[in-house]
Structure 1
């Protein structure tokens, strides 16, 4: 297979890398964390001005019709800089759901604004009891005159505190674990009956708990057909997993670089510790895990936009499993090789380690994806 990037892809990668390198130093990131939104509106606008927020969308909605490889290139650089901006939940995940489920009127009204960085979205699919199962939904939507009335609670809505619209899954029919009867709605977080409680996540980002108490939405807020949203939710979460894998690879690359630089400069017993063979072997193990993770992220990027199939689902589950294991290993070994400084708030490695542990939980942990992979083998 030919893994060479096209000239356009190389330019995209260089643009993203230069932007992150010039605008996202460690001190700047710490300042962005303290803002009410938890990220930099100026950096978000820079992403939009350079066209990076429009890459995945079709040209008719102001995009560049980019695919999984283009997403990989952008997400790897954002991961390398530990960027806090909600590119994955807004552009990849929520944008993909609207592009797949939305009517033409909804897509024309929303996607150009998302592509231009004018509208930030969030996705609220998880609930306290769901444990990565998208069909485990207790939030209910009842048909009323003129629209729908929603009641329920959504957990850990990444960037939901600052979103202009939140995509919420709710049950319009059936029981808690039924795979049919799940619909998707566009919710204005400032509307009556909607409240949230925001909180920082362990890796510096912000999320919220979303509470729906007789929240009314019009019929135009429904995305797709009533009760038929689950296949799209699973498909677009697969695209989000592929993007997250790329982001994790960027973070792991940075963690390996920090660790190698430390081994080359830290002295003990009159010489740099990088000369000790035991530490060299551990550094090699980190690089081996990184290379495996990079290969799996590339595989995930290549299948992310393919039609839904057992092969696609199996490849994405394998990629997430391998990358979660590699992320944990690199985070642990990086801290071990640094010693105490690796855990300090003032040192960037500790933030990469926290982010990698966050990756290991979002969209399913390694046990979840190993089980999914095994079930898909039985299907094959």
Structure 2
């Protein structure tokens, strides 16, 4: 199997890495994080100008016709720079729902603003009682004439406090944990009845608690069938996990490089600590874990577009297990080999470890996905 990038993919990789190298060092990230929205609107405009927001969308809809590999390239670079901007929330999650669930007319109306960087989206799906179960939806969508009225609470909405539009999952029929009866609704984030409480997360990102009180939406705001949105939600979540695997690899790669450089320069007893064999072994363990994660991130990327939901879920969960385990090995090794400086706010290694830890928890941690793979009969079906 050929893992080499095409010429266009190599150009994309070079351009995004060059942009981040020039304008997104760790000190710049600190400044971006102090912005009221938690990220840099100027950098967001730069992503739009370079076409990064257009990566996964079809050319006839204003995109560049990329796929999971192009998304992987961008997310791995973002992981290496600890990017704060809402690329996952707007492009991967919300953009994925628009690609898979919206009609052609809806995409024609909403995608230009997303691709141009003028409109940011967030996917409001998680609820406090649901844990990792995507089908556990308690927010209700009661039909009122030709439209719907939304009621309920959403939790941990990534970048929900700064989004211009929200894509909300809500139950139109059935009991709270039924797989059927779930719809998707696009609403203005500042619509009457919508209240948002934003807060920083442990890794420097932003999230929000969102309350919906008698929020009225018309039929034009419904994505696809109002009772059969779960397959699209599951597919987009799998795509998001594949993207997160790539981001985690970018972060782990940077931690491993920073640690090796530190071992070469930090001296103890008059000699670089990298000359001590036990520390060399620890660094080798970090490298092995990184390469295992990279291989599984490739698998997740290749399977993100798989039409067979069972096979896609099996591979995505397998990758998530390895990413969680490798993230712990690389992160703990990086912090411990750096010593006390590794956990200070002024040094980047601890921030990388925080982000990788949060990626492990997002959409299900390693233990959750290991159990999921086991229920499906293992990573390689008998």
TM-score by length of 2: 0.98
Matched residue, 2:111:
111
Distance 1:298 1:245 in 2: 9
Matched residue, 1:334:
334
Structure 2 counterparts to residues 24-173 of structure 1, below 5 A: 24-173=24-173
Shift of residue 179, structure 1, vs aligned partner: 0.4
Matched residue, 2:10:
10
Q: Deviations over 1:128-150 (max 9, x none)?
A: 01011111111111011341111
Distance 1:93 1:194 in 2: 20
Matched residue, 1:260:
260
**Greater alpha carbon shift after TM alignment, 195-204 vs 140-149:** 140-149
Structure 2 counterparts to residues 165-244 of structure 1, below 5 A: 165-244=165-244
Pairs aligned (count): 380
Shift >2 Å, 4+ stretches: none
Distance 2:155 2:187 in 1: 15
**Greater alpha carbon shift after TM alignment, 115-124 vs 349-358:** 115-124
Alpha carbons 1:186, 1:223 under 8 Å: kept: yes
Distance 2:313 2:205 in 1: 28
Q: Secondary structure at the match of 2:283?
A: helix
Shift of residue 303, structure 1, vs aligned partner: 1.2
Q: Secondary structure at the match of 1:345?
A: coil
Alpha carbons 1:328, 1:360 under 8 Å: kept: no
Alpha carbons 1:180, 1:228 under 8 Å: kept: yes
Q: Secondary structure at the match of 1:162?
A: coil
Alpha carbons 1:16, 1:74 under 8 Å: kept: yes
Matched residue, 2:272:
272
CA RMSD of aligned residues (A): 1.1
Q: Deviations over 1:230-258 (max 9, x none)?
A: 01100110000000000000000011111
Alpha carbons 1:235, 1:308 under 8 Å: kept: no
Matched residue, 2:315:
315
Alpha carbons 2:136, 2:178 under 8 Å: kept: yes
Structure 2 stretches lacking a partner, 5+ long: none
Distance 2:123 2:217 in 1: 16
Distance 2:176 2:306 in 1: 30
Q: Secondary structure at the match of 2:377?
A: helix
Distance 1:104 1:3 in 2: 33
TM-score by length of 1: 0.98
Distance 1:183 1:316 in 2: 24
Alpha carbons 2:235, 2:309 under 8 Å: kept: no
Distance 2:124 2:259 in 1: 36
